[in-house]
Amino acid sequence: MKLDINAANEKTLEIMKSGQAELVDIKPARDVIPGMTENTILHAGPPIDWSRMCGPMKGAVIGALIYEGRAKDETEAAELAASGEIEYSPCHHHNSVGPMAGIISPSMPVFVLKNKTYGNYAFCTLNEGLGKVLRYGAFSQDVIEKLKWMEKVLAPTLQSALTISGNIDIKGIIAQALHMGDECHNRNKAATSLFIREIAPSLVKVQEKTDVISDVLDFMNGNDHFFLNLSMPAGKAILTPASGIEGSTVVTAMSRNGTDFGIRVSGTGDKWFTAPAPKVEGLYFPGFTDDDANPDIGDSSITETTGYGGFAMAAAPAIVQFVGSTAGDALNFTKKMYEITVGENNSFTIPSLNFRGTPTGIDIRKVLELGILPQINTGIAHIKPGIGQVGAGLVNPPQKIFEDALITFAEDYNL
Amino acid sequence: MKLDINAANEKTLEIMKSGQAELVDIKPARDVIPGMTENTILHAGPPIDWSRMCGPMKGAVIGALIYEGRAKDETEAAELAASGEIEYSPCHHHNSVGPMAGIISPSMPVFVLKNKTYGNYAFCTLNEGLGKVLRYGAFSQDVIEKLKWMEKVLAPTLQSALTISGNIDIKGIIAQALHMGDECHNRNKAATSLFIREIAPSLVKVQEKTDVISDVLDFMNGNDHFFLNLSMPAGKAILTPASGIEGSTVVTAMSRNGTDFGIRVSGTGDKWFTAPAPKVEGLYFPGFTDDDANPDIGDSSITETTGYGGFAMAAAPAIVQFVGSTAGDALNFTKKMYEITVGENNSFTIPSLNFRGTPTGIDIRKVLELGILPQINTGIAHIKPGIGQVGAGLVNPPQKIFEDALITFAEDYNL
């Protein structure tokens, strides 16, 4: 039988469109993430070992080892990290995703999302907020203390609230937020607000001191990116069943470890196609320049892979203040993405395009035919460990990985 | 000295731009609204007596008299309402505004907003939610019970939270919401969310049963229009000091009582210019048609008068689903309003227009020169008392009131 790539791609798109993403639990990573051992550290992007890790990822690993009580300081942590004792593995190999360095260690609490259409799960840590945070490679005492508070207070309190509220429809919140100026990658202000509205009535019923409940609300209210760590696993939950579709040229992961940029394609299964991660074109915080910028890093481009984030920038004209661009560009980025995608997601619509669905399902054939690369917007980490975020901007994956993917696809299918 | 209308208008605009609007208290109307007596009932729009009131306004007056314990049923309330004992007065005459029928009776709790730049106050009831509600003329037992709960539970609980949180910057929330798909007249979803986020951490600290706190959060979460009753008095607080500016042709009130549409102009002070209220062009809820629609009603066009609402529709493309239109129209409505306004408000910016300020300060001269009428979006009430909302849509004021205003202006200033 002749391979029908278009039909395979349509099937992949249908799986993506029919996927769901509900927040069903919050648990320590060790208790829920498949394959997580006490020596496992998960990271963003395609596979990488300690020696090739970039500065911010090394910083985050150091922080995680201190946080886990495996090392008392940076020196000890760096020794342990390089010792061979730690098993590094991509989040993506464990149904997980992580922003920026994407480090997940066993004690970290994670959101548990379920795609109820297909029964699969996805996992992501809770967002730490802005400033000095582990995901950007910072590991000072205050960073570790905040992670401990998130483990001991934030996560169990939210978990108790979730038990009262029942599952929360994260896909539904993303859909609403796209009508409220978010694209749910670098702008999550509306989605964060909607999540707080949804959980607050249950949160106040949790048997805890009112100061604790108030702190939890304050923490979420103080961080417009809180929802990012729900938006990302929603994409992962939706994409997992879309992977491994015979003959499909649809991208199922775009991901960066700060050294390499990697993609996976549905029809070639779990193989990674990688090339050096590019620099991000963006706006820098005062006091920082291009020289401070680490190459592109993080699993957050799962959002673009699922059809929102940079692909839905037309829904979020205000984001141009953050990533450096114009409202017209935001509209054009989305319009361009229609050219390289299989179709539109009628669950995610864009008011300013008269409620057209977001461009969904990147087809590597179209990317190469038209020479149009997927548009990603993203944060920028400092190149050294221990510092943090220095800006935000726009980036495209290297063209080479799409070429490599298509060559492998052709070989796999004897084309 | 020659009258310099342009300078007067610029001065009016500057007062509007520099105005503030903070929520400072929540109190029963009788305790805070100037001139409120036990026999006073405030209503939307320009002055009107019982005999000329439209159906939904009569329904709301009947409901208010039952709610106040002044009448036991519709018949008794209608008798009292017509007896001459009740003093009807426009909200606008008492630094107040009310959506739709706009009825305020002495026991109703009101938001107290302060313009801290100029020291003046504005007042508005709390939003009841959708469905059968007093402001659309419904007065059944459940409507009255909800009003009692709002008086006894909602308002005092929110007031206690406000004591803990301190004043809340409503102008700031409007500015943020314009970047989140609201225009803050008929779309208040983002602003409602931001308000909940802002007050929730303090709300949980109120000494009250957790069930009550949870009910209050549920009530606000269940009503995306909750913020409308904060958006409106914010406009009133900003416009009050802009009134009575010598030689200014800027509109300081646009308001409808369901029978008449009225405007006030800064340079002619407190005079109303009125004409029959037009019908609204809109979308009807299932089972209703144009025949069920009351003419245009409510003080909510204070939002357009201040430079948001219909004037900021470009910021809220998703609203077209509610009022019946296209995203392109939403953009064009805003663009058109620049032609009839004095300037732009740099506090209220529109991302899709590259952060251009909203068109602000309607100049009656420009309205008449160009034949472009202000664009208002609004809800539609059933023409009969006791029913409620039947749809939403778009409306313009009658041209005649701008002509009358200009004639009076010319007379007042011997032009």
Q: Which residues of A touch B192 (CB under 8 A)?
A: 197
For residue B248, the model assigns a pLDDT of: 98
The answer to whether residue B118 scores a pLDDT higher than 70 is yes
Q: Identify the CATH homologous superfamily for domain B20-232.
A: Enterococcus faecalis V583 domain (3.90.1710.10)
Mean pLDDT of B12-41: 98
**pTM summary value:** 0.95
Cβ A291 vs Cβ A390: under 8 Å: no
For residue B1, the model assigns a pLDDT of: 65
A220 vs chain B: nearest CA distance in angstroms? 9
- The CATH class for the domain spanning B244-412 reads alpha beta
Taking CB atoms and an 8 Å limit, are B221 and A197 in contact across chains?
yes
The answer to whether residue B315 scores a pLDDT higher than 90 is yes
For residue B132, the model assigns a pLDDT of: 85
The answer to whether residue B77 scores a pLDDT higher than 90 is yes
Mean pLDDT of A215-229: 97
pLDDT digits (tens, 9 = 90+) for B188-247: 999 999 999 999 999 999 988 999 999 999 999 999 999 999 999 999 999 999 999 999
Contact of B257 with chain A, judged by CB distance below 8 Å, is answered with no
Q: What percent of chain B has pLDDT over 90?
A: 93
| Domain A19-232 coded CATH 3.90.1710.10 | yes
Indicate the residue type of A51: S
* Cα–Cα distance measured from residue A198 to residue A227, given in angstroms and rounded to the nearest whole number: 12
User: Strand A87-90 vs strand A40-43: parallel, antiparallel, or unpaired?
Assistant: parallel
Helices (H), B181-319: 189-203, 210-221, 228-239, 302-306
Q: What percent of chain A has pLDDT over 90?
A: 93
For residue B368, the model assigns a pLDDT of: 98
The answer to whether residue A359 scores a pLDDT higher than 80 is yes
For residue B241, the model assigns a pLDDT of: 98
pLDDT digits (tens, 9 = 90+) for A148-185: 999 999 999 999 999 999 999 999 999 999 999 999 99
Contact of B203 with chain A, judged by CB distance below 8 Å, is answered with yes
Domain boundaries, chain A: 19-232, 244-412
For residue A19, give the nearest of A119, A150, A88, A165 by alpha carbon: A119
Between helix A210-221 and helix A189-203 the angle, nearest 10°, is 170
Q: The dihedral of CA B371, B374, B376, B380: what is its sign?
A: negative
Position A1 confidence tier, pLDDT thresholds 50, 70, 90: low
Burial status of residue A100 (CB atoms within 10 A of its CB: 0-12, 13-18, 19 or more): buried
More confident residue, A65 or A325: A65
Name the residue in chain B with its Cα closest to that of A201.
B214
Q: Which residues of B touch A180 (CB under 8 A)?
A: 180-182, 189-190, 318
Q: How many CB atoms lie within 10 A of CB B219?
A: 22
Contact of A212 with chain B, judged by CB distance below 8 Å, is answered with no
Name the residue in chain B with its Cα closest to that of A200.
B217
For residue B346, give the nearest of B46, B19, B86 by alpha carbon: B19
The dihedrals phi and psi of A22, each to the nearest 5 degrees, come to: -115, 140
Cβ B58 vs Cβ B49: under 8 Å: no
Between helix B228-239 and helix B189-203 the angle, nearest 10°, is 100
Contact of A328 with chain B, judged by CB distance below 8 Å, is answered with yes
Q: Which residues of B touch A210 (CB under 8 A)?
A: 204-205
Between helix B55-67 and helix B141-149 the angle, nearest 10°, is 60
Cβ B124 vs Cβ B96: under 8 Å: yes
Contact of A201 with chain B, judged by CB distance below 8 Å, is answered with yes
* Cα–Cα distance measured from residue B151 to residue B69, given in angstroms and rounded to the nearest whole number: 14
How many C-alpha atoms does B261 have within 13 Å on its Cβ side? 25
Mean pLDDT of A173-202: 97
